[in-house]
Amino acid sequence: MRMSEIPFGTVDWSSVEPERHPGEAGEAIWRTRYFGPAENAIRVRMVEYSAGYVSDHWCSKGHVLLCLEGELETVLEDGRAFTLRPGMSYQVADQAEAHRSRAPRGAKLFIVD
């Protein structure tokens, strides 16, 4: 990730329009902002997963992810599993290791990709 042409700014996440994304079960509410030139824009999101959320796909996109509330369970294609609790994060590069997540009790995340 290369960050360029992004002036200093603040975001009031409560004022960013929410988008609903259904999962295999439950839903994710995304509040998304993009920063920098369109061809290299950095996507920054505040994401809330409902209790019982299960992703509907394997993701190969790279992320830096911070768990703010709840718990997020993430499984890699090779079978390894990880649980994030508040204050924990993970990072993975584009096309490095496909992953799929679920939030049995719900979760709130801050994600940069």
Q: How many C-beta neighbours within 10 Å does residue 51 have?
A: 12
pLDDT digits (tens, 9 = 90+) for 77-103: 999 999 999 999 999 998 999 999 999
Whether the pTM exceeds 0.85: the reply is yes
> Do residues 107 and 82 make contact, with C-beta atoms less than 8 angstroms apart?
no
CATH code for the domain defined by 28-112? 2.60.120.10
What are the strands, taking DSSP E only, across the chain? 19-22, 27-35, 42-49, 53-54, 63-70, 72-76, 81-84, 89-92, 99-103, 107-112
Confirm if 50 and 103 have CB atoms less than 8 A apart.
yes
Q: List pLDDT tens digits, range 67-78.
A: 999 999 999 999
Task: Label residue 3 by pLDDT band (50, 70, 90).
Answer: confident
Which residue ranges make up each domain of the chain? 28-112
Chain centroid to CA 64: 8
